[in-house]
Structure 1
């Protein structure tokens, strides 16, 4: 466990290595947190839930860090509102690094004596940090992608690892299927309880929708046709003047985009990304198709490649039958967010190694699009 802990903690630091100090404190919008905050918050998790609870006479690194770096655990105590995270010029970046070093030293001393119950909590904490590693990538992209200079994060960063060639459909017969996690490996509480569902037959595409296909949607005035959109989506498009995916810019008759490797021409063969649920649903309607439910996605997922983009589904984020929220503050991790959000399945190019599985339920509000998400279609 010590080696696993160290490897995951070091990956967070590696993700931040290309940044300049000025990059660590920027918060362009409330949904995007400064990299400095991510580094401190993931450290607070260990101090709050492990060290302060299970190490006798543990002395916190700073008496106010619990207030500064608590995210949404209201039962733990007061916290800084999310939209104010970018106002924290203090503590400094160097002080946050010192905080991480202190907590890591204490964790290394404690882990060999940790009970099985605490080890399960540590495993949750490691998966929590991996979630923030993906958020680091997407938040860094938003920060740099809204800088007028469009500075690259890493010039050799690949946002698409392979180009899909087979755009045919997989046909799944009607029947009873088991949904949810059922092994002894780690899983989040929202992946339980495993249960059976009845599905009618359906056909799901082997490949993700490409940039080229999405350009055709734009050319056909997809963003201007109210018949394609949910009512809330149409209001969103008009209020915020949305006419293309996030990070796309028209230039000299072509589409360009900001990628983590820098400003580049859109590659039409790559899967489209950084689109909202509203856009995904409107595109599916334009195609005469639909989005899969999360259950259809899970049942069919062994028959197609996934992992480059989080994939929009037409399923609201709700508890499974038999779901039980864990006791205490850890119960705030997932359960209280099961309203007004939509499920995404799969993983993305920014998902850390060994942090993806077909039962994983990601979730976001319908307008949000700064994650590496994409579209897989089902036939109507």
Structure 2
């Protein structure tokens, strides 16, 4: 393991340490409450079943969460002996592809819950006694923060499984607030002037290795959509034959479109002249003013070409989301350095859908770009590569094994992402064919293309 250390948390001494300890405990408990909500709402048969070969059975995620928590916190940080070493291979994500996991001798639901509960109790005892400094994994409580993020990421994965699950709805949440009065009169795009900005971070205490290190990127001017592309706009692409015209698709994208017979976003269907969608077990009309959801990178790229535009690069996205031209510094979030609240972004599964385009004016960036955090993951044009000076930490399997042109970067989080796992530097990645994820996009252009 490399000796790269995360930065220290703000504040020192007993008061700072106790505040950090309380923050960690709150994040761990919030993640576990969400895990319970996602697994207690269905019968054991649903937990054991594989609802899609793309996803694990829910009961695998449940025990995997406990296993990773035991591995990193009880064993690596606490120096404890393994509780059940015989199950480690079952819950190693790199040993067994998702499609094979139902055939493994997995812990049944009651035992998986008991295991995760036992691990959590011991972890809270460990947290109470931890100095939260000294060793690299303890600095700023990094290992605890990593595990809180890991559980919330699997909660998002389990929510995707719920979306793929057939049968009666098992989840409920209130709709997002209506769009603000100015949403209909927002400019369609904003200019991001040329110039350098700081990309990545050296100061975010719980940032993961692929977000590091901070480095300067100098970009030419570009124009970016004020809001994500909406369902109504995407329907115009469909109506204009966008899925049937190879001009708008890359060679690989066209081949995939034909092979997979793509004709609309995943979960959409045409009935009696109207587009409908299935959302967590409910079939409903596609809302025209919501950001389009469940589209692959190939579809997003084809739409952008059809519209005479392009997908933004990852660097363009981050500059639009973080750079403050008034101060010349990069913020943690579009609105500033304070953590996300319900008035700034649609995060944390408060709502089971994106908010209308133009929502959350309090969360807009200094350039006036809205909904850069939450609502939908946004595909970018960029492949997933390390930043200059990258060092894998604390394990290479988190990022390093995925670097390359196979994966495209997504930014900004979505309604299913918890605030602890969402910030202006956070990087997500997936295959360009993926559609079951909560993915949308916005488009860009250079001024010369006007």
Q: Is the TM value for this pair above 0.5?
A: yes
User: 1:112 Cα shift?
Assistant: 2.1
User: 1:176 Cα shift?
Assistant: 1.4
Match for residue 213 of structure 1 among 233, 237, 244: 233
Query: Following superposition of structure 1 onto structure 2, how do residues 26-37 of structure 1 map, counting pairs within 5 Å?
Result: 26-37=49-60
1:100 matched to 2:100: no
- Distance in 1, matches of 2:308 and 2:79, equals 62
- Structure 2: tracts of 5 or more residues without a match: 1-20, 322-364
Identify if the C-alpha distance between structure 1 residues 89 and 162 changes in structure 2 by more than 3 Å, giving closer, same or farther: farther
Aligned to 1:326: 393
CA contact (8 A) 1:192 1:320 kept: yes
Aligned to 1:75: none
- Distance in 2, matches of 1:47 and 1:325, equals 21
- Which string of whole-angstrom CA distances, capped at 9 and with x for unpartnered residues, describes residues 56-102 of structure 1? 55341x34210111112xxxxxx333321123474211111111111
Identify if the C-alpha distance between structure 1 residues 162 and 132 changes in structure 2 by more than 3 Å, giving closer, same or farther: farther
Q: Once superposed, what is the RMSD of the aligned Cα atoms?
A: 1.9
- Which string of whole-angstrom CA distances, capped at 9 and with x for unpartnered residues, describes residues 231-273 of structure 1? 1111111111111100001111111111126111111111100
- Distance in 2, matches of 1:368 and 1:22, equals 27
1:304 matched to 2:369: yes
Aligned to 1:342: 408
Identify if the C-alpha distance between structure 1 residues 57 and 38 changes in structure 2 by more than 3 Å, giving closer, same or farther: closer
Aligned to 1:250: 270
- Which string of whole-angstrom CA distances, capped at 9 and with x for unpartnered residues, describes residues 132-182 of structure 1? 11111112211x2xx2x4x22324454x65545325211011111211124
Identify if the C-alpha distance between structure 1 residues 167 and 213 changes in structure 2 by more than 3 Å, giving closer, same or farther: farther
User: 1:297 Cα shift?
Assistant: 0.9
- Distance in 2, matches of 1:161 and 1:343, equals 29
Give the stretch that moved more between structures: 82-91 or 105-114.
82-91
Aligned to 1:14: 37
CA contact (8 A) 1:249 1:255 kept: yes
- Distance in 2, matches of 1:57 and 1:177, equals 44
- Structure 1: tracts of 5 or more residues without a match: 73-78
**Aligned to 2:429, what secondary structure does the other structure show?**
strand
- Distance in 2, matches of 1:53 and 1:361, equals 25
Q: TM-score, normalization: structure 2? A: 0.77
